[in-house]
């Protein structure tokens, strides 16, 4: 019986990686933008793990065309112990991560999850995040409900905030 259950477990795990690999060639098409109700989710990405790293962070731009505020309540994905929503605060010159209960998306406005601020925290990775793969994440919003988003894994050196001035765009 032990042998059977261990065979099943490895079959599931191989299936997971085959699915992840098959998304690779089309990831540019599916990962750039997604609309859910009045929300638009753009450029979802996760920083690739460096050796020894067991946690990871995900980022995405969320625009709200609606007249009502929405709120990101939680996120889930396979292959991690726990997913939390975090922000970064600075106390006495030291940046620290803090869990938040939700991230508001203002009416007719936007919120950008980005390095140095709000992020989706993946805790206890069963496998490292490898650049070039995608991670399917389900985001749960108060009003828009559940939205499945494919996060693209970018190299550890990727930092879109440093390379362009688009981060300051606001409405
Ligand atoms: Cu964090």
80-91 and 33-36 strand pairing: unpaired
Tell me, in angstroms, the distance from the centre of ligand 1 to residue 8's CA. 33
Whether 41 shows a pLDDT value over 70: the answer reads yes
pLDDT score recorded for residue 99: 98
Segment 160-166 mean pLDDT: 55
- Is residue 10's pLDDT more than 50? no
Q: For residue 86, how far is its CA from the centre of ligand 1 (angstroms)?
A: 5
Question: 54 — phi, psi (to 5°)?
Answer: -110, -5
Determine the topology of domain 2-158 in CATH: Immunoglobulin-like (2.60.40)
Q: What pLDDT score does 19 carry?
A: 41
Over the stretch 50-81, which tens digit does the pLDDT of each residue have? 999 999 999 999 999 999 999 999 999 999 99
Q: How far, in Å, from the CA of 122 to the mean position of ligand 1?
A: 8
Strands 39-47, 145-154: pairing kind: parallel
Residue 85 in this model has a pLDDT that exceeds 70: yes
Decide: 57 and 66 in contact? Cβ < 8 Å. Answer: no
For residue 132, how far is its CA from the centre of ligand 1 (angstroms)? 22
**Whether the Cβ atoms of residue 81 and residue 124 lie closer than 8 Å to each other:** yes
CA–CA dist 59, 119 (Å, integer): 6
User: What pLDDT was estimated at residue 21?
Assistant: 43
On the CB side of 124, how many CA atoms lie within 13 Å of its CA? 9
Instruction: Please state the pTM of the whole predicted model.
Output: 0.76
Q: Which residue has the tokens 């490898």?
A: 130
Q: With beta carbons less than 8 A apart as the criterion, state whether 134 and 24 touch.
A: yes
Q: Which has more confidence, 3 or 115? A: 115
């Amino acid at each position: 019986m032990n042998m059977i259950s261990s065979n099943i477990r490895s079959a599931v795990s191989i299936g997971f990686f085959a699915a992840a690999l098959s998304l690779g060639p089309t990831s540019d098409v599916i990962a750039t933008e997604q609309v859910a109700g009045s929300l638009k989710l753009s450029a979802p990405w996760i920083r690739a793990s460096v050796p020894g790293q067991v946690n990871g962070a995900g980022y995405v731009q969320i625009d709200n065309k609606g007249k009502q505020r929405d709120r990101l309540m939680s996120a889930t994905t396979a292959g991690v112990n726990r997913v939390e929503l975090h922000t970064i605060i600075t106390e006495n010159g030291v940046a620290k991560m803090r869990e938040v209960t939700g991230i508001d998306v203002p009416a007719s406005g936007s919120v950008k999850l980005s390095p140095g601020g709000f992020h989706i925290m993946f805790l206890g990775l069963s496998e490292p995040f490898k650049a070039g793969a995608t991670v399917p994440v389900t985001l749960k919003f108060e009003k828009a409900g559940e939205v499945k988003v494919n996060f693209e894994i970018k190299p550890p050196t990727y930092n879109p905030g440093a390379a362009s001035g688009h981060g300051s765009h606001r409405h």
